């Protein structure tokens, strides 16, 4: 009979090998995107195609005045526009302008926006903001970037939203997470920091489209070019996109999995765990060591006492306690018929 060959199971890739393979994949994707970018459309052509795909692009924060837009934008930090739009109707009905909000009780404002994240900090920001508008700007929203960013809770992004949407005079392109991601995927920039991305977009696009650019990119990011699994197969601008069909790893921070290379934060944590256990064991061992030390001291004291007793002519052995005398037995009762 022929010997049966043993089946060998395929060897599993080590975590380090998986991490290396993933790094190579990301590098390949970026190289492909870079190659396609050499023949990419101009920023103006891309924006025109995107505007045709999203003709209804606009600021999705509900507001009825520049002041309400300013407050809503401050509230939208690390919160969705949907959540803000659910909270602001009651807030704006009670406090429609800066003077009303500046005089509002803190507890009532907190209660009206308690459904959004960091509502206590945001309550302080919008009430202080309203007070400053009343004291320094007669209750009106200023129209310059410098004056806006001086208000509590207002940064460059919030200021440009107000300047662009409320007044039509933006001093830059609003770069949120969607704009940041899509700018890289569309090949508009290789920068990763919002400030640098804004500078590149402002250089490539005319000022009159700065405001609509951010709204259009945000619409596309929310509806088509998702962070995970972008819908490249249904995207109307995929023919112009250098990252089409390989976009998922572009414009995003690389995810960390279980196969982390050496030196990563996870491995550093894993490396410190045994040390932590050793430290805990050492702490547990300290009471035992102290107990042993105390026992040794007690034994030493006993030995010293015994030595002194022997030197004085006494018995070094500890004396046993004297036995107590037994109680005498009770006499038995006399038996019947005794003489």
User: What CATH number does residue 106 fall under?
Assistant: 1.10.340.30
Q: In whole angstroms, what is the distance from residue 213 CA to residue 290 CA?
A: 71
* Total tally of structural domains belonging to the chain: 1
CB 113 within 8 A of CB 87: yes
Average pLDDT over residues 31-59: 78
Confidence of residue 91 (pLDDT cuts 50, 70, 90): very high
Q: In whole angstroms, what is the distance from residue 253 CA to residue 206 CA?
A: 30
Residue 28 lies in a domain: no
Residue 166 lies in a domain: yes
CB 95 within 8 A of CB 101: yes
Look at residue 34 in the predicted model and tell me its pLDDT: 47
Residue 291 lies in a domain: no
Q: What pLDDT digit, counting tens, does each position of 189-205 carry? A: 999 999 999 999 999 99
Tokens of 247: 């976009």
Does 309 score more than 90 pLDDT? no
Residue 6 lies in a domain: no
Q: In whole angstroms, what is the distance from residue 108 CA to residue 43 CA?
A: 47
CB 182 within 8 A of CB 217: yes
Instruction: Give the H/E segment covering residue 316.
Output: none
Look at residue 14 in the predicted model and tell me its pLDDT: 72
Q: What pLDDT digit, counting tens, does each position of 47-87 carry? A: 999 999 999 999 999 999 999 999 999 999 999 999 999 99
By mean pLDDT, which of 3-17, 79-93, 99-113, 159-173 is the weakest? 3-17
Tokens of 264: 């990563």
Hey, which residues are catalytic here?
157, 176
Residue 38 lies in a domain: no
Cα end-to-end span (Å), the chain = 111
Look at residue 225 in the predicted model and tell me its pLDDT: 96
Residue 217 lies in a domain: yes
Does 256 score more than 90 pLDDT? no
Please report how many Cα atoms fall inside a 13 Å half-sphere around the Cα of residue 158, on the Cβ side. Answer: 27
What lies within 8 Å, CB to CB, of 232 at 6+ separation is 238, 241, 244, 245, 247
Does 143 score more than 60 pLDDT? yes
By mean pLDDT, which of 60-69, 193-202, 247-256, 294-303 is the weakest? 294-303
Tell me which residue of 215, 255, 221 sits closest to 241, measured CA to CA: 221
Task: Give DSSP secondary structure letters for 32-50.
Answer: HHHHHHTTPPPHHHHHHHH
Tokens of 312: 């004085």
Look at residue 44 in the predicted model and tell me its pLDDT: 93
Name which residue leads in pLDDT, 208 or 277. 208
Average pLDDT over residues 223-234: 94
Instruction: Give the H/E segment covering residue 237.
Output: none
Residue 326 lies in a domain: no
Q: In whole angstroms, what is the distance from residue 297 CA to residue 258 CA?
A: 52
Residue 243 lies in a domain: no
SS3 content of the chain, % helix, strand, coil (to 5): 55, 0, 45
Which domain, by its residues, includes 193?
43-223
Fill in the DSSP letter of residue 118.
T
């Amino acid at each position: 009979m022929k010997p049966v060959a043993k089946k060998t199971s395929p060897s599993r890739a080590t975590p380090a090998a998986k991490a290396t393979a993933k790094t190579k994949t990301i590098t390949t994707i970026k190289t492909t995107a870079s190659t396609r970018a050499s023949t990419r459309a101009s920023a103006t052509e891309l924006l025109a195609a995107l505007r045709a795909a999203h003709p209804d692009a606009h600021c999705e924060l509900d507001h009825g005045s520049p002041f309400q837009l300013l407050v809503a934008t401050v509230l939208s930090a690390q919160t969705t526009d949907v959540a803000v739009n659910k909270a602001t109707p009651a807030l704006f009905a009670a406090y429609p302008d800066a003077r009303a909000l500046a005089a509002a009780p803190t507890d009532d404002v907190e209660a009206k926006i308690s459904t959004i994240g960091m509502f206590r900090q945001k309550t302080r920001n919008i009430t202080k903001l309203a007070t400053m508008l009343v004291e320094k700007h007669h209750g009106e929203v200023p129209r310059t970037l410098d004056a806006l960013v001086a208000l509590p809770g207002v940064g460059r992004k919030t200021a440009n939203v107000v300047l662009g949407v409320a007044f039509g005079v933006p001093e830059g392109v609003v770069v949120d997470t969607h704009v940041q991601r899509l700018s890289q995927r569309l090949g508009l920039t290789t920068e990763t920091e919002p400030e640098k991305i804004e500078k590149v977009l402002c250089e490539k696009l005319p000022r009159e489209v700065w405001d609509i650019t951010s709204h259009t990119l945000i619409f596309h990011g929310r509806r088509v070019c998702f962070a995970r699994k972008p819908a490249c197969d249904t995207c109307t601008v995929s023919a112009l996109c250098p990252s089409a069909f390989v976009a998922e790893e572009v414009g995003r921070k690389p995810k960390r999995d279980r196969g982390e290379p050496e030196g990563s934060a996870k491995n550093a944590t894993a490396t410190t765990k045994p040390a932590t256990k050793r430290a805990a064991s050492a702490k547990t061992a300290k009471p035992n060591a102290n107990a042993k030390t105390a026992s040794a001291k007690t034994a030493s004291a006993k030995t010293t006492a015994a030595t002194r007793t022997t030197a004085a002519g006494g018995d070094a052995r500890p004396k046993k306690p004297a036995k107590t005398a037994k109680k005498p037995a009770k006499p038995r009762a006399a038996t019947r018929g005794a003489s």
